[in-house]
Amino acid sequence: MDLVMEAFLLSTGIVALAEMGDKTQLLALILAARFRKPWPIVWGILVATLANHAMAGALGAWVTTVIGPTTLRWILGASFIAMAVWMLIPDKLDDEDADAQPRWGVFGTTVVAFFLAEMGDKTQIATVMLAARYNAYFWVVAGTTLGMMLANAPVVWLGERMTRLVPMRVVHLVSALIFAGLGLYALLA
């Protein structure tokens, strides 16, 4: 498989899995239940994710210019393994996030809330690592954004019913195994 396609597909899959049960997915559920306007929420998620992941991807691409390949390989390997452990710790939404007031309308509230909720989140850090791993900035950002949309847009429309279909523990375990595999691959390849 070509490296660009691998970067895109892996970025999409990892972020879609990592997002399951994440605080931003819970935020999407709360926004959908509270405002009952799915389109502005979905567009807000897209805009916030593009902005956040574009910055994260740029950071990942920049890191490759200042860190040598051997050091980067060890950092990425350790980071992917750390991400595997982090995946086993489910996120909970803070009460203050749930009480956000719609000062800027549904779209604006979603953009601001999602952008801030993604800061330092698993999916943002995964975007940094994937952009550092692959020399395909656009495809990593496109993939991680698609992964976020695949995980969050259905929640906006289907709500709580969807979160009951797939046990979150299984999703977190599969995600952890994928991250651990990537970490071992980076360290041993």
The predicted structure's pLDDT at residue 102: 59
Q: Which residue range(s) make up the domain with 39?
A: 3-188
pLDDT tens digits for the chain (189 residues)?
Answer: 699 999 999 999 999 998 887 778 878 887 887 788 899 999 999 999 999 999 999 999 998 889 888 887 888 788 878 878 877 876 554 444 444 455 678 999 999 988 988 888 888 999 999 999 998 999 999 999 999 999 999 989 886 565 566 666 776 787 688 778 878 987 887
Separation of alpha carbons 182 and 21, rounded Å: 21
pLDDT of residue 30: 79
Q: What's the pLDDT tens digit per position in 4-47?
A: 999 999 999 999 998 887 778 878 887 887 788 899 999 999 99
Q: Which two tokens stand for residue 104?
A: 């800027």
C-alpha torsion sign, points 157, 42, 130, 141? positive
Q: Measure the CA–CA gap between 21 and 122, rounded to whole angstroms.
A: 11
> Length of the chain in residues, anyone?
189
Torsion of Cα atoms, 34 then 27 then 119 then 61, to 10°: -110
Tell me which residue has tokens 């740029």: 58
What is the C-alpha to C-alpha distance for residues 93 and 114, in angstroms, rounded to an integer? Answer: 12
Residue 162 corresponds to which tokens in the numbers above?
């969807």
- Under DSSP, the state recorded for 135 is S
Contact between 181 and 76 (Cβ < 8 Å): no
Give the global pTM: 0.76
Domain tally, the chain: 1
pLDDT value of residue 108: 92
pLDDT at 130: 94
What pLDDT sits at residue 91? 56
Q: Which residue has the tokens 């495809």?
A: 139
CA distances for 116 relative to 31, 38, 119, 128, 189, angstroms: 15, 20, 5, 16, 36
